[in-house]
Amino acid sequence: MTNPTFGHKEDNVNYQNRYGVYAVIPNEEQNKIILVQAPNGSWFLPGGEIEGDEDHFQALERELIEELGYKAKLGDYFGQADEYFYSSHRDTHFYNPAYIYEVTSFEDLGNPLEDFNNLAWFPIQEAIEKLKRGSHKWGIEMWEKKHKK
């Protein structure tokens, strides 16, 4: 089975690998998803780049504390979705394999370590529409499939 792929891989372009792990975090009623808005205005699932020798769990635990101030319990792993994109902010083309997990519960530990992001809960369809990355939209769609009543 091949990974879903988003964006367009251009020929003769050097892509920098950026491995990321992200979480689909629903509210208790499971009718809204929390998103993180970067300073540039784009919306993303919580999570981010895997640093050094971190595994998925260590990276996601760190990212959720940094971005949300949450300690989370992970549920299902939805898989890897690959994304090709150009970052004008970094003037770099990226190949971004995104590893997407479900969060089944979380504890609010206090203020996030990063204070420059906006956080907001959105109804599921609106969350999908707001997200910048196709891989993140796919993650919410996988969560939705699992939780259809």
Mean pLDDT along residues 31-58: 96
Residue range 44-58: average pLDDT? Answer: 97
Angle at 1 between CA 25 and CA 97, to 5 degrees: 50
Query: What is the set of domains in the chain, with CATH numbers?
Result: 16-147 (3.90.79.10)
Give 99-148 pLDDT, tens digit per residue.
999 999 999 999 999 989 999 999 999 999 999 999 999 999 999 999 98
Would you state the pLDDT for residue 134?
A: 97
How far, rounded to the nearest angstrom, does the alpha carbon of residue 62 sit from its chain's CA centroid?
Answer: 13
Distance CA 103, CA 100 (A): 10
Q: How much is the pLDDT for 89?
A: 82
pLDDT band for position 149 (cuts 50, 70, 90): low
The average pLDDT across 86-102 equals: 94
80 vs 40, higher pLDDT: 80
The tokens for 54 are: 């971190």
**Is the pLDDT reported for residue 2 higher than 90?**
no
Residue with tokens 């259809």: 148
pLDDT at 88: 86
pLDDT value for 10? 93
Q: What is the rounded average pLDDT of the residues 4-25?
A: 96
Is it the case that residue 1 has pLDDT exceeding 80? no
Cα atoms in the 13 Å half-sphere on the side-chain side of 9: 11
